[in-house]
Amino acid sequence: MSLYSGKHSVGSENVQATADEYGGLFDASKDQNELVQKRKENYTTLVNHYYDLVTDFFEYGWGKSFHFAPMARGEAFDQAIAAHEHFLALRLKLGPGMKVIDVGCGVGGPLMEIARFSRANITGVNNNDYQIARGQKYVEKAGLKQHASFLKADFMNIPQPDNTYDAAYAIEATVHAPSKTGIYGEIFRLIKPGGYFAAYEWVMTDKYDPSNAAHIKIKRDIEIGDGIPNLDTVKECIEALQAVGFEVIEHYDLSPVDEVRPVPWYRPLEAGFSWSGFKRSVIGIQATHYMVAALEKIGLAPKGSLQTHTYLESAATGLVKGGQAGIFTPMFYFLVRKPENKNK
């Protein structure tokens, strides 16, 4: 797709203002504890601003599935992404006729892939109008309207009755929530007793040292570059799941490399990965930076586009450094179950 197709998600005249407002929530000169609280209180605005600004960039470099995946040697990027999505479908035992909710569905890449793979009926929850509009077009074009749909809602308060869904999943989306107990509690409410919830969560690992300045910088770069109120730890996520009533079936980090998938999740962001992945690499991101700067200067890209891309450069730098140091993972996987006797 073209980076600039003539219609920007927030309107060409509003890109700079939106970028400025978004950046103010991460101002390094202000008290960071206060800013974290402010980001949590204003998470809806934060996340909507973020995806209004970056959705076009994401699709340009990443496709329709905005997430990472471990990779086998010689495996194509798109294949690895699809396999990562299939893994969740298999762990949830999704099948034809099941009613499933995708919490934070983006433009619907995973939703469509999992619907095709499982034949389940999947509702994607998203609070961003621009992404929903794009997703609906993709679903219609793919001929999946019978199995894939969208619900515009704040995922902290989804307007559906208790015990509506057979299963739920979230792929690198609930990191945007202001409270883990809040988002997990809402998912707990929505799935039927005995139903499963599986997710890939962005977390700081046990190797993260909150007193280490370099670690703090990496964490902040990831947060500002990816529209995150605050990155939680593995321990905080598990405690939140248990606190709302889930039975934890299994959990582990899928990021460590092994003989089956020896290519780390952050490799596509590193320089020199492959020509096909050039747009995702550090060199490709830098090249895009100069392209956007030139387009903005001559008026073909709206003011604020370069500032937006700078946020994504911060994200790429932080993600690679975090992955290399082992202090961050975007694929902390867990599978949990709502007990049979729970009707919250």
Give 124-159 as a DSSP string: EEE--HHHHHHHHHHHHHHT-TTTEEEEE--TTS--
Please give the pLDDT value at position 33: 81
Please give the pLDDT value at position 25: 63
- Structure-model confidence comparison of residues 290 and 34, the more confident one: 34
Domain with CATH 3.40.50.150 in the chain: 77-213+231-259+328-337
Which region among 108-117, 139-148, 300-309 has the lowest average model confidence (pLDDT)? 300-309
Please tell me the distance from the alpha carbon of residue 25 to that of residue 178, in angstroms, as a whole number.
Answer: 14
Give me the amino acid identity at 1.
M
Please tell me the distance from the alpha carbon of residue 47 to that of residue 76, in angstroms, as a whole number.
Answer: 30
Instruction: Report the run of H or E that residue 173 belongs to, with start and end.
Output: none
The alpha carbons of the chain give a radius of gyration, in whole angstroms, of 19
CA 42, 46, 47, 48: dihedral to nearest 10 degrees? 100
Please give the pLDDT value at position 276: 44
Identity of the highest mean pLDDT range in 1-5, 14-18, 115-119: 115-119
Read off the DSSP letter of residue 130: H
The dotted CATH code for 77-213+231-259+328-337 is: 3.40.50.150
Give me the amino acid identity at 175.
V
Which region among 33-37, 174-178, 210-214, 219-223 has the lowest average model confidence (pLDDT)? 33-37
56 contact partners, CB below 8 Å, separation of at least 6 = 1, 3, 4, 5, 8, 9
- Structure-model confidence comparison of residues 56 and 218, the more confident one: 218
Please give the pLDDT value at position 23: 67
Instruction: Mark 63-102 as b/e (b = at least 16 C-beta within 10 Å).
Output: ebbbbbbbbeeeeebeebbbbbbbbbbebbebeeebebbb
pLDDT at 280 over 80: no
Which region among 51-65, 202-216, 220-234, 281-295 has the lowest average model confidence (pLDDT)? 281-295
Please tell me the distance from the alpha carbon of residue 261 to that of residue 276, in angstroms, as a whole number.
Answer: 19
pLDDT > 70: what percent of the chain? 77
> What pTM value is reported for the model?
0.84
Instruction: Report the run of H or E that residue 25 belongs to, with start and end.
Output: none
55 band by pLDDT with thresholds 50, 70 and 90: confident
198: tokens are 């599986």
164: tokens are 């509506």
68 band by pLDDT with thresholds 50, 70 and 90: very high
100 contact partners, CB below 8 Å, separation of at least 6 = 92, 94, 114, 120, 121, 122, 123, 165, 166, 167, 168, 169
